[in-house]
């Protein structure tokens, strides 16, 4: 039987959802030309929720008959998701006004999506995983199509929807098979039931869940939708989608596989190995030929899904899985922050009608806007994994964990593909500094703040990464 104490385990989530519901109604009263107020309220809600989440640090518990769980892992991921939400609102604030998309629903949908992601991080039952997956995806479908009279955006929304619904079908079929094999959908119950259940059905179920979530995190060969959707969707939405959906998808994968299916490690590790290697290679190779910054970042996002997948390969090995999951979490933070910064620069240069997005439009940025160009250089270095940035530290922890797990070949592929990626990331830097051009940018206070924040975090945390890694390590302790 449930009781009100169950609510305390998901208190931040409840507050955020209630806030979003009320904001949806409050927004009806705000006049059309003052939707900035809605943005402010949504940021306030996210900040309040972030405070409540931080207050949960160190607490353990589960609620609603073990449907949801509160642990270090969920607090860590939720904090990252809420920061992503805040950065997403900050990026959108000026952008939607400038592009003429200012509608209050933008911020409400963003809040609902963050709520879905948080539920994903706290899910301890496969039913909740499915529910959270839909709650985070459905608002994202709408947000992708948010620049509505623009055909590209509507198409991006439709494509994202069709592929997303398709992948949800795989996830839920996989969950049904796991339920059939073990007789339960609770992650803890599945572990207990595995010794006496049909291995074949369980393996197929787990594989289908992997395929479905593979679509969500844009792993090759389930990545086809990514470049189109990232390019067509409004840039502020893409920035949030790239960070938030990836963090949520990976947190679900980490929790499901690490807590429910460690016994499948021997059979799944090879598949994950191939998936990670393929994602890194394909993502980085196709990115080379891109001339549009949004598509470039889309393929970069695919490639980074591959790096994070590496953290997953040793999930069945009890000696290294804790350190590799912690490395995966750390890398998620580094990718999310860098990603928001890079998109911030893209948004600063983007003009109406989709102009200002070609790589050539970045020519001369170094001379005319040195601060912006310096920030972009930091983000590009971080995406490659060069010092002095967070990307380097993230890759270091990742490769170390993977090598400790005995997958030296995978680490070599990771290093080699990073070298390939240096080519196209550095090309952006070269264009900014070496070529003549007259770029124009838009300077908005919140946008500048986001970019500066991301650049500072990328550099400073890379100099003292130990506290963040220690937090990530302690977050995964109770996971297994």
Does residue 61 have a cis bond before it (omega within 30 degrees)? no
DSSP H or E stretch at residue 365: helix 365-368
User: What angle in degrees, to the nearest 10, is found between the helix axes of 126-144 and 105-122?
Assistant: 160
Tokens found for residue 209 = 């869940």
Does residue 221 have a cis bond before it (omega within 30 degrees)? yes
Name the residue nearer to another protein (CB basis): 154 or 456. Answer: 154
Name the residue nearer to another protein (CB basis): 75 or 168. Answer: 168
Q: Which residue has the tokens 């980085």?
A: 284
Provide the minimum distance between the beta carbon of 262 and another protein in the complex, in angstroms, as a whole number.
22
Provide the minimum distance between the beta carbon of 159 and another protein in the complex, in angstroms, as a whole number.
8
Name the residue nearer to another protein (CB basis): 157 or 328. Answer: 157
| Gap between the Cα atoms of 393 and 169, Å rounded | 37
Provide the minimum distance between the beta carbon of 415 and another protein in the complex, in angstroms, as a whole number.
27
Name the residue nearer to another protein (CB basis): 217 or 286. Answer: 286
Name the residue nearer to another protein (CB basis): 110 or 384. Answer: 110
CB 137 within 8 A of CB 216: yes
Provide the minimum distance between the beta carbon of 169 and another protein in the complex, in angstroms, as a whole number.
4
Name the residue nearer to another protein (CB basis): 175 or 248. Answer: 175
- For residue 412, the tally of other CB atoms under 10 A from its CB is 14
In this structure, the chain runs to a length of 480
Provide the minimum distance between the beta carbon of 260 and another protein in the complex, in angstroms, as a whole number.
15
How much of the chain is helix, strand and coil, in % rounded to 5? 80, 0, 20
Strand partners for 263: none
Cα-only R_g, the chain: 21
Q: How far is CA 413 from the centre of its chain?
A: 23
> Residue numbers of the site for another protein (CB under 8 A)?
1-3, 21-22, 24-25, 28, 127, 130-131, 134, 138, 141-142, 145, 148-149, 151-152, 154-159, 161-162, 165-166, 168-169, 172-173, 175-177, 179-180, 183-185, 227-228, 231-232
CB 160 within 8 A of CB 141: yes
Provide the minimum distance between the beta carbon of 468 and another protein in the complex, in angstroms, as a whole number.
36
DSSP 34: G
Name the residue nearer to another protein (CB basis): 134 or 420. Answer: 134
Name the residue nearer to another protein (CB basis): 229 or 349. Answer: 229
Provide the minimum distance between the beta carbon of 24 and another protein in the complex, in angstroms, as a whole number.
6
Provide the minimum distance between the beta carbon of 176 and another protein in the complex, in angstroms, as a whole number.
4
Tokens found for residue 230 = 């990232």
């Amino acid at each position: 039987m449930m009781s009100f104490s169950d609510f305390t385990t998901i208190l931040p989530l409840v507050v955020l959802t209630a806030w979003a519901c009320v904001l949806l109604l409050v927004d009806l009263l705000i006049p059309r030309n003052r939707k900035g107020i809605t943005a402010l309220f949504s940021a306030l809600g996210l900040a309040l929720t972030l405070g409540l989440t931080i207050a949960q640090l160190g607490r353990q518990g589960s609620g609603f008959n073990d449907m949801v769980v509160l642990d270090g892992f969920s607090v860590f991921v939720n904090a990252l998701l809420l920061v992503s939400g805040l950065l997403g609102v900050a990026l959108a604030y000026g952008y939607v006004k400038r592009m003429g998309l200012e509608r209050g629903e933008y911020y409400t949908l963003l809040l609902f999506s963050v709520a879905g992601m948080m539920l994903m991080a706290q899910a301890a039952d496969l039913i909740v995983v499915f529910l959270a997956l839909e709650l985070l995806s459905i608002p994202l479908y709408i947000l992708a199509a948010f620049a509505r009279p623009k055909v590209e955006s509507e198409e991006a929304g439709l494509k994202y929807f069709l592929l997303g619904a398709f992948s949800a079908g795989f996830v839920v079929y996989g969950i049904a098979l796991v339920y059939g094999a073990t007789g339960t959908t609770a992650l803890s119950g599945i572990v207990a039931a595995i010794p006496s259940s049909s291995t074949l059905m369980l393996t197929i179920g787990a594989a289908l869940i992997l395929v479905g979530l593979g679509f969500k995190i844009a792993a090759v060969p389930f990545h086809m939708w990514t470049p189109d959707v990232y390019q067509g969707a409004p840039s502020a939405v893409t920035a949030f989608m790239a960070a938030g959906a990836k963090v949520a998808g990976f947190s679900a994968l980490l929790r499901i596989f690490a807590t429910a299916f460690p016994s499948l490690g021997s059979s799944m590790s090879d598949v994950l190995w191939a998936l990670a290697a393929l994602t890194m290679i394909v993502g980085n190779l196709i990115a080379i030929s891109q001339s549009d910054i949004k598509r470039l970042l889309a393929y970069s996002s695919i490639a980074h899904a591959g790096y994070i997948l590496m953290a997953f390969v040793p999930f069945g090995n009890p000696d290294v899985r804790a350190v590799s999951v912690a490395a995966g979490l750390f890398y998620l933070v580094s990718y999310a922050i860098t990603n928001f910064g890079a998109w911030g620069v893209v948004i600063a240069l983007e003009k109406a009608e989709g102009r200002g997005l070609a790589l050539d439009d970045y020519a001369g940025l170094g001379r005319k806007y040195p601060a912006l160009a310096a920030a972009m250089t930091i983000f590009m270095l971080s995406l490659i994994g060069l010092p002095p940035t967070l990307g380097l530290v993230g890759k270091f922890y990742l490769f170390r964990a993977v090598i400790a797990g005995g997958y030296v070949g995978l680490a070599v592929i990771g290093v080699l593909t990073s070298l390939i990626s240096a080519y196209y990331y550095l090309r952006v830097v070269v264009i900014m500094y070496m070529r003549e051009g007259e770029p124009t940018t838009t300077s908005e206070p919140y946008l500048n703040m986001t970019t500066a924040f991301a650049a500072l975090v990328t550099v400073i945390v890379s100099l003292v990464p130990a506290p963040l890694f220690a937090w990530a390590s302690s977050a995964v302790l109770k996971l297994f």
